[in-house]
Structure 1
Amino acid sequence: MRKRLALVLAGAGLFAVSLATGADATPQGPAPVADSTREGTVPAADLLAKVSSCNQISNGKYRTDEETSANIAVCGANGAVFWKADMDIDCDGQPTAHCNSDTDPWFQDDTAFHQSDGKPLISDQLPYVVVPSPSSIWDYRTAGIKGGGVVAVIYNGKVEYAVVGDTGPTKIIGEASYATAAALGIDPDPETGGTDSGVTYILFKNSSVTPIESHSQAVSVGDQLARQFLQNN
């Protein structure tokens, strides 16, 4: 899978309601591989049942890679937006043994959104999702989506909660961090890993994790939002 170049978007100021307060320690070490079919209490099948049809809110569709046709729409639902696409691996952010200019030909040492200490995110530690940079196709900010917003990522019967952590090309969709892929059992290699299809991304509107680097907060808030999503759709 060819990773796409992530674009850094600065100053995307949008106010949203924070659904989680308090901070815990920055996760240490690589993200653990999921040892169950889901994080939290909501099964993948229940979430997928609510996104079986698409109310398209994007003004057009996205490609999954530069060479593919544009066939991925952003869909709207009560309390969330979602899309179904592939997963390319974003290894950008602070350099680590897994993510650096030697392991990733497209490596950038920054992410659009930063940790509470001001440093870029750490791709092989933090599950995060990449959203397309604003364009005439779609502007994530107008949908109540922001850096640190909560995302339920579903693949092969597993649910992984992540945050919005980076922005990418304006015409391409379907990318997440090394840690997201590893937790879902997807090859996280930034050059050859990823998967061509079968990934569902549900982004919860007006949500945020504080601090953005706390995966435990993402799981706690995400589980709450997922249960609300089932009730409201």
Structure 2
Amino acid sequence: MRVQSLTLAAASAALLVPTTPPATPAQPRTQPVVGRPVVGRPVVGRPAVGREASVSAADLLARARDCAPVSRGRYRKDSGGSAKIPVCGTRDAVFWKADMDIDCDGRPGPRCNHRTDPYFAASTAYSQSDGRPLSAERLPFVVVPAPSRIWDYRDHGVGGGSVVAVVYRDQVQYAVVGDTGPRGVIGEASYATAEALGIRPHPLRGGTASGVTYIVFKDTRVSPIEDHEAAVTAGERAARRFVDGS
């Protein structure tokens, strides 16, 4: 979970140059632009590869254009920033528009570990079916703020494994709720989520400062949580209901 601002993260990265190995080169996008003809099926535990979303980014953004706040207050993008982001809601979903910080926590791997991320924590709020932490570099998941007076996600049909549509530019990536973060900060997703959307996934120098919409579908749950193909299937179905308002 990220608690530092992007500016602080950049400063930290500069100080760590003598001891931090070079960042792993960016990997090819693993989620196609919505609307492009594709073939194939996603692999369990990895971002969806070669699968066309049934609901476009434009349709989802149009449905999420108006905000009826369900949070009592507003969130910051990063610690120390201004609190300007409400959590909005409809009958079918809750959503927010924010930045994307990179969560590299969970099961260590070649891209997410103590060497690549000095803030690394070898745990996630929710675990795989075998009891191990989630893998941020393999599984698309989203971080929600820990329950507080501002907002408690558990009161809105959201929990570990809830299905999320993450929209960035003209792309949609389906993910699950997999971790919790600081009570006053919002806008964070796993390494795999960022990579699939073409956002630089480096835990310190990656992410994007704005333009990401997170739509969490109420009363959905993927089990086992690491089954990404199931998340895509459930996400497409929930996204259609959300867009149609039915």
Question: What TM bracket, shorter-length normalisation?
Answer: 0.7 to 0.9
Which of the numbers 105, 113, 120 marks the counterpart of 1:92? 105
Consecutive unaligned residues in structure 1, runs of 5 or more = 6-29
Over residues 78-121 of structure 1, what are the superposed CA-to-partner deviations in whole Å (9 max), with x where a residue is unaligned? Answer: 21000000000000000000000000011000000000001000
1:33 and 2:46 correspond: no
Q: Given the alignment, which residue of 209, 217, 239 partners 1:196?
A: 209
Is 2:32–2:171's contact at 8 Å kept on the other side of the alignment?
A: no
- Residue of structure 2 equivalent to 1:82: 95
> What is residue 23 of structure 1 aligned with on the other side?
none
Provide the TM-score with structure 1 as the length reference: 0.86
Mapped contact 1:40–1:220 kept (Cα < 8 A): no
Cα deviation digits, residues 110-158 of structure 1 (max 9, x gap)? 0000000010000010000000000000000000100000000000110
Q: Normalising to structure 2: TM-score of the pair?
A: 0.82
Paired with 1:193 and 1:3, the residues of 2 have a C-alpha distance of 12
Residue 4 of structure 1 aligns to which amino acid in structure 2? V
Residue 63 of structure 1: how far off its partner (Å): 0.2
Question: Any conservation in 1 of the 2:128–2:134 contact (CA below 8 Å)?
Answer: yes
Structure 2 counterpart of 1:113, one-letter code: Y
**Pairing of 1:95-114 with structure 2 (within 5 A):** 95-114=108-127
Q: Which residue of 2 aligns with 1:211?
A: 224
More deviation, 180-189/33-42: 33-42
The Cα shift of 1:62 comes to 0.2
- Alpha-carbon distance in structure 2 between the residues aligned to 1:36 and 1:143: 30
In the aligned structure 1, how far is the partner of 2:107 from the partner of 2:234?
25
Paired residues of 1:72 and 1:85 also in contact (CA < 8 A): yes
Partners of 1:87 and 1:199 within 8 A in 2: yes
Asked if 2 retains the 8 angstrom alpha-carbon contact of 1:89 and 1:178, the reply is yes
Tell me how far 1:231 sits from its aligned partner: 1.5
Larger Rg: 2
Alignment counterpart, residue 234 of structure 2, candidates 198, 221, 224: 221
Contact kept? 2:34, 2:53, Cα under 8 Å: no
2:61 equivalent to 1:48 = yes
Query: Residue 148 of structure 1 corresponds to which residue in structure 2?
Result: 161
Whether 1:184 and 2:205 are equivalent positions in the alignment is: no
Q: CA RMSD in A?
A: 1.6
Could you tell me whether the CA contact under 8 Å between 1:31 and 1:125 is conserved in 2?
no
| Identity value in percent | 56
Q: Is the 8 A contact 1:154 1:201 kept in 2?
A: yes
User: Offset of 1:187 from its aligned partner?
Assistant: 0.3
Does the CA contact (< 8 Å) of 2:85 and 2:96 recur in 1? yes
Give, in whole Å, the separation in 2 of the partners of 1:149 and 1:93.
18
1:33 to partner: Cα distance: 2.0
Higher relative contact order (CA 8 A, sep 6+): 1
Given that 1:149 and 1:209 are in contact with CA atoms closer than 8 Å, whether structure 2 keeps it comes out as yes
Tell me, in whole angstroms, the C-alpha distance in 2 between the residues paired with 1:116 and 1:139: 25
Q: Is the 8 A contact 1:31 1:179 kept in 2?
A: no
